[in-house]
Structures are given as structure tokens and as C-alpha cells.
Amino acid sequence: MNFERPVSEDDLHGYVDDRLAPGRRAEVEAYLEAHPEIAARVADYRSQNEALREAFAPAAAAPIPPDLNLERMVAAHRARTSFAGWRLAASLALTLGAGATGGWLVRGMSNPPQAGVAALSREAADNYKVYAADRARPVEISGEQQAVLTEWISHRLQRPVATPDLTSAGYNLMGGRLVATAHGPAGLFLYQNAEGVRLAVFVRVMGERDRNASMANHDVNGVESVAWADDGLGYDLAGPVQAGALRPIANAVRRQTLNSGEIRD
């Protein structure tokens, strides 16, 4: 046979990897027919390819571990960069708000709570029962990585959300996680005091009609909670503590969130 261009080693690999233009491919095929020794080598290479793909396929099919969660990495990155100024403002607000006493009126007592906040309390209580009771892994991101946690929740709620500080009430941040509700993602922050009592702060975006709601107490199957909404963000403080004891802590949380600036529209 007569070949216009001699078949090179590169052509053989191009043939093995299916990278040749159809015309060249036909020429290589004709060449291989005329050279069985080389055709055998090329056939070997092709079965190598197949076996390699098969052997390495499981490595790409394995579930992605949480350490490789891209959204979390983005949140951590934003914590280090774009929100740095806001975080400074938020931490200042937390420091300033810690000692003050609030003059918040207990308006929720006389009015029946709006449906939106009642739903919020139910979700908070449900999540409290599942996660606060978990001795092995109550939180997904520990309090030591507070910036990561804050930015993860902020990213998913698409609102800057500060992690409330309850140390003035004797509760230290254990950490938190993102949880699912019928109304979208919510942030769950867990706290624990020296006696091992755990409290939760639950936060999510509220529906259009419930953008603002005054503080209201709810008792959902033995979990006490205080819920309210400011500027479209709903909060619930939940725990196995009497409502009277929860209220001052809720007031402190509310002051912190209101003082953290950007939350206001």
C-alpha cells in the first residue's frame, strides 16, 4: 500500500486514544493491517486503556467526604476575607451587649403568636431534641471554628448571621450545623453550661408576612423556647429551662443580633 504520510509512533498513540481525525484513522488502520506485529502492540495498549479506566473508576465513584465540601470551604474563605470588617463589627457588638440589661416589653404574652414564629419554635424544638441529645456528635462544626460556622450559615441563609455569645449567662458555644426545615435552611447553634445543660439558638429566614415578630414563649413537648423575628430573620432560643430563665438570655441574643449592623434593611 502507498501512504502519503508515514505512520509515526505518535499516530499509533493517537489511534489508541481515539484522538485521530477520521481520514488519518483510516490510514493508520490500513497500516496496522499490513503490520501485524505493530497491530498486536496497539491492541495491547488499547486493552491497557480499558483496564486502567476500569481499575480507577471506583476512586471517582466513592462518596465525597465532608472535608472536601466546597461550600464549606467557600464559607471559610469568606470568613477570612470579605466579611472581615463585618465580623469585627459583630464581635464589638457582642462585647458591648454582654453586660447591658434590656428593656424589652413582653408583648408576645398578650397577643397569640403569629403562625410563622410558632412554626419556628416547633422546628427549633425538634432539632434541639435530635441534636442536643446526641452525645457523640451534637455539632458538625465545633465552636473552635466559629468563623467557619458563622460564614457557612450566613452563606446558606444568604444573610449575615452572627453566632450569638451566651457566655454572660454561663453557656459556652459547642458549635453548630446547618439543618433543613420546610422553610429552607436553618442554622442551629448549640451551647452548654458547667452543669451540662444545653441550649440551642435556631435561626432561619422568615416568610414575607412574618418578617418582624415580637418575642413569644412556646412549649413544644417539654422544650421551652422563646422566638422572635427581626428584619426577616427569625430566632428561637430553646432548651430544657423555664421560660422565665430563658427570657433574659433571649434578650441578650436579640440585642447582639440587632447591634450587628448589616442585618438592618
Partner 1 sequence: MNSGRDQPTVRNEALTNDKARAMNDMIRLVEPLIPALRRYAGGLTRNPAEADDLVQDCLERAVSRWGQRREDGDVRTWLFTILHNLFISRARQTKRRGPHMPIEEACETSLVSQPSQEHRLRHNELVNAVAALPQDQKSVLLLVTVEDMSYADVAKVLAIPLGTVMSRLSRARERLRRDLSGEGAGRAQTILRRVK
> Quick one: 69 or 242, whose CB is closer to partner 1?
69
| Min separation Cβ 95 and partner 1, Å | 23
Grid cell 430553646 is found at: 238
| Min separation Cβ 117 and partner 1, Å | 26
- Dihedral angle at the C-alpha atoms of 149, 152, 157, 159, nearest 10 degrees? 80
> Quick one: 157 or 238, whose CB is closer to partner 1?
157
Q: Which residues bind partner 1 (CB under 8 A)?
A: 9-10, 13-14, 16-17, 19, 39-41, 43-45, 47-49, 51-56, 58-62, 64-65, 67-68, 70-71, 73-74, 77-78, 82, 155, 158, 262
Specify the DSSP class assigned to residue 8. P
> Quick one: 81 or 110, whose CB is closer to partner 1?
81
> Quick one: 19 or 107, whose CB is closer to partner 1?
19
CB 117 within 8 A of CB 250: no
> Quick one: 14 or 207, whose CB is closer to partner 1?
14
> Quick one: 74 or 100, whose CB is closer to partner 1?
74
| Min separation Cβ 255 and partner 1, Å | 21
> Quick one: 71 or 134, whose CB is closer to partner 1?
71
| Min separation Cβ 59 and partner 1, Å | 4
DSSP states along 109-140:
GTSPPPHHHHHHHHHHHHHIIIIIT-SS-S-S
| Min separation Cβ 35 and partner 1, Å | 13
- Dihedral angle at the C-alpha atoms of 247, 252, 254, 255, nearest 10 degrees? 140
What strands, in cross-sheet order, belong to the sheet with 172-181?
141-142, 172-181, 184-192, 198-205, 233-239, 223-230, 213-220
Spell out the SS3 assignment of 36-98.
Answer: HHHHHHHHHHHHHHHHHHHHHHHHHHCCCCHHHCHHHHHHHHHHHCCCHHHHHHHHHHHHHHC
- Dihedral angle at the C-alpha atoms of 44, 49, 55, 58, nearest 10 degrees? -160
Give residues with Cβ within 8 angstroms of 80, minimum separation 6.
147
| Min separation Cβ 209 and partner 1, Å | 23
Q: Which amino acid is located at 200 in the chain?
A: A
| Min separation Cβ 244 and partner 1, Å | 38
